[in-house]
Chains A and B, each alone.
Chain A
Amino acid sequence: DTAVSQTPKYLVTQMGNDKSIKCEQNLGHDTMYWYKQDSKKFLKIMFSYNNKELIINETVPNRFSPKSPDKAHLNLHINSLELGDSAVYFCASSQGHPSSYNSPLHFGNGTRLTVT
């Protein structure tokens, strides 16, 4: 199936640990994103990569480090996890450069991160 897939779907870990979330898209898109959805369902962009190049870097703590080995993959590594990092993290992709404002986002099904 053509899709945006991210793993794991659920991640439960303790404060202070380091964890990674992986994302892959086989849609042939040029741009990939990480979004964070909080408990109130508010969806906020964290990062955007276009052809492996960082385009958008919102005011995210530097404990969060995205890595794009190729344009089909965008992983998210989080160091020293904190309680406030608990949320659902969505990977997404779109065709073209972010300046193509008509391009819809194709989302993965999310990774629910719970920090205890």
Chain B
Amino acid sequence: TQLLEQSPQFLSIQEGENLTVYCNSSSVFSSLQWYRQEPGEGPVLLVTVVTGGEVKKLKRLTFQFGDARKDSSLHITAAQPGDTGLYLCAGAVLTFYGNKLVFGAGTILRVKS
């Protein structure tokens, strides 16, 4: 079982539609990060959320951290073909040796023009 459950796994939508990706866990995270990965490249950080209930906006992307810091969501408004990619959430878990980032399984988003 994975610490972070991400849904949906796949999403194929038309340009202009809105979508939401969810990241859920039963564990509390010190912080949560969202990454976007394109084929043949490494993940690139989109945002870090730290405080429970925090909302951050990045142009058409809205990120929310749950009040209990156990879940997060990514909402994209008016999706564009350039938004196509793999979206990964990653939670920071406190361990004996410090914080460790645990990744969700990812959401593959395809935006068709």
Judging by beta carbons under 8 Å apart, are B40 and A102 in contact?
no
B residues whose Cβ falls under 8 Å from a Cβ of A: 2, 30-31, 33, 35, 37, 40-45, 48, 50, 86, 88, 90, 92, 94-95, 97-103, 105-106, 108
Candidates B30, B42, B88, B106; contact of A101 at CB < 8 Å:
B30
Q: Is the interface of A mostly helix, strand, loop or mixed?
A: loop
Per the bound structure, the CA–CA distance linking A92 and B106 in Å amounts to 18
Q: In chain A, residues 65-107, which have Cβ atoms closer than 8 Å to a Cβ of chain B?
A: 90, 92, 97-102, 104-107
Judging by beta carbons under 8 Å apart, are A98 and B43 in contact?
no
9 new A-B contacts, CB < 8 A, other than A42-B2, A101-B30, A108-B42, are: A41-B105, A42-B105, A56-B95, A98-B100, A101-B92, A101-B99, A105-B35, A107-B42, A109-B41
Judging by beta carbons under 8 Å apart, are B42 and A90 in contact?
yes
A27 within 8 A of B: no
Closest Cβ–Cβ distance, residue B30 to chain A (whole Å):
4
A11 within 8 A of B: no
